[in-house]
Structures are given as C-alpha cells and as structure tokens.
A and B are shown apart, each in its own frame.
Chain A
Amino acid sequence: MKNWKKILLGLVVIALAAACYGYYLYNKQPADVRKLPLDYELTATVLLEEFNKDETAANLKYLEKVIAVKGKVSEVKLEPSTGQATVILETGDPVASVTCSFYDDEVDAVKKLNKGEAVIIKGKCTGKLMDVILNKCSVEK
C-alpha cells in the first residue's frame, strides 16, 4: 500500500513538472537576436555573392543564423505609418542588396545613419527574395 502511494506521488510530481515545462515552453518568447552569439561575420558583398552563386547552399548555411554584416548604407527607410525602420546595404551589385529590418526600439539608432556610411548590422537571415534579407536587426557600429 505504501509503495502504491509512493508511485502515485512520483507520478503526480512528474506530471506537475511536465505541465510546468509545457507552460514555460508555451510562453517562451523568441530569443532577442541582439543577445545571441554571432554565427557569421562578413561583408554585404560576400553574403550576396554566396546567395547568387548557390542559393540552396547559402540557405543551408545562413538561414535562421545570427550574422553581422558589414557594408555601406545605400538607403535608410523610415515608415511613419508603421514605425518601421529598414536599412539597405550596398553590395556592388546594381540590382540586389542586403535589406535589414529592425527591432522597434532600434529605430533611433537607425535614424542616426547616413547614406554612404559604413556600418555593421547584426540580425537574423531569413533568405533571399530580390535582396538577401535580415530581420530583428540592430546597429552594431
């Protein structure tokens, strides 16, 4: 009888722990990319070249990865209606660049950037459309 009680108690504890873990997972917020370690560090030109050369291989390498991209600002776009900030980096390629969308609280840092300025932007690579796209970005330097 005592054994039976012990087993039951054990099961209840396990169930509770599982429920807590489930609740924790359910409420877990996406990681803040700014706090994550870098997977890659490279220039906008090299990043685009790799995608142009072999998109499948580049996707395998860079998708969902945290990267720091170095490049020159070709355009800063601030959208008052949505509060969005976007920076487009030069790559030397006239038709494709690297597009970065930022965290909402990075907008002030983006506002300080000027066209032609050299920057390092950290973000997560989501793939290539026309440009290679990074989201959840922040201005590193």
Chain B
Amino acid sequence: MKKIILVISTMILIHTSFAQNRYFTKAGAVSFKAGTALEEIDGINKSATCIFDGTSGQIEFALLVKGFEFKRSLMQEHFNENYLESNKFPKSTFKGKISNIDKVNFQKDGNYIVNVKGILEIHGIKNEIETTGSFKVSGETVLSTAEFTIVLEDYKIDIPGVVKDKISKTANIKVTCSNTVLK
C-alpha cells in the first residue's frame, strides 16, 4: 500500500514539476514585411500558437496562413492564392530548440537572450533557420520575441516579373508571444 502511495505521489510530483515548466499561448502575433521602397507590404497574424518547455528548450509555433491580415484586400488575395497557396498549405510551423535555455531563470524576472535553431515550414517547404530572440520573464508570464529574415525563393514562393520591383526577395518576420505557464 505504502509503495502504491509512493508511486502515485512521485508521479503527481513529476507531472506537476513538468507541467509548470511548459509555457503556452494561443494568441501569439506573427507579422512580416516583404515590401520595397515602391510598396509597403505587411501582414499580421494574431492567433499563432506557441509552446515551449523551460527545461528542455523545445519550442514550437504554428499558425494558419489564412489568418494573416493585410491593409489591402488584393494583397491578401494574392498572398493566399498565388504566393502561399493557403488552400494547399493551410498551416505554417516552426519546430526547434533553444540551445541556452539553462541561462534563463524562470524564477527571476528579467530579459534573457535566447538562441534558437530549428525547422521552419512555409508553403510546404522545410528549411533550417537559426536566430536569436528574447525571453522577458515577469512572474508566470514569458514574453518571447524574435525577428529574422527568410529568402522567399528558399520556400519556392515565386514572384511574377510584373511585380518584382514591388515585392522584396526576402521577408522580415517578427514574432511576439506572451506565454503563460501551462497548468
């Protein structure tokens, strides 16, 4: 009997300590800029999910491509139909790992610089990316931010000749997620 209680209590203990190390949000913001001097092109998605493990450093993002909002409706149409083909590839994901997660003290409020490396999938194409970001710890909330640039060609996003001067060959992506402890 004692053994069973011991097993159960350790299981609960393991479970809770594990659970408290995971941070999660369904309301992450991911925005991008791919304009040139001729034209401003930017979109924002306000419903990205992000989960990371404060112990292992595993981090994952996912979003729905159709959730990007634009200032002009034509941009949104072209983005979904021609460039990202969101009917064929509705989701975009990132799965990676923070290499210096041990440097982040989740018990102490402050700003921590993190290095992250992983696989970014856009338009059905996977590429490895590496960037630095920051974790701003305040209580049970971690504001994670990162900014990086991708080359559109790497993700087989073809820009037709007519609009080549207006659309940049690269996209600058900005991520802002306010993660809270997953209970």
Contact = CB atoms under 8 A, between A and B. Distances in A.
Q: Which one of B25, B74, B176 has the greatest number of beta carbons of chain A within 10 Å?
A: B74
B63 interface: yes
B27 A101 contact: yes
Nearest to A31: B73
Contacts of A126: 47, 64, 66-67
A61 to B, nearest CB: 14
Given A28-B74, A84-B46, A79 B178 contact: yes
Contacts of A59: 90
Contact of B49 (A31, A81, A130): A130
Nearest to B71: A29
| Chain B binding surface SS class | strand
- Interface residues on chain B, size class: 20 to 34
Interface of B: 25-27, 29, 46-47, 49, 62-64, 66-67, 69-74, 76, 90-91, 143, 176, 178
Given A31-B73, A135-B67, 17 more contacts: A26-B74, A28-B74, A29-B73, A30-B73, A77-B27, A82-B29, A82-B46, A99-B26, A99-B47, A126-B64, A126-B67, A127-B67, A127-B90, A129-B49, A129-B91, A133-B64, A135-B47
Interface of A: 25-31, 59, 63-64, 77, 79, 81-82, 84, 86, 88, 99, 101, 126-131, 133, 135-136
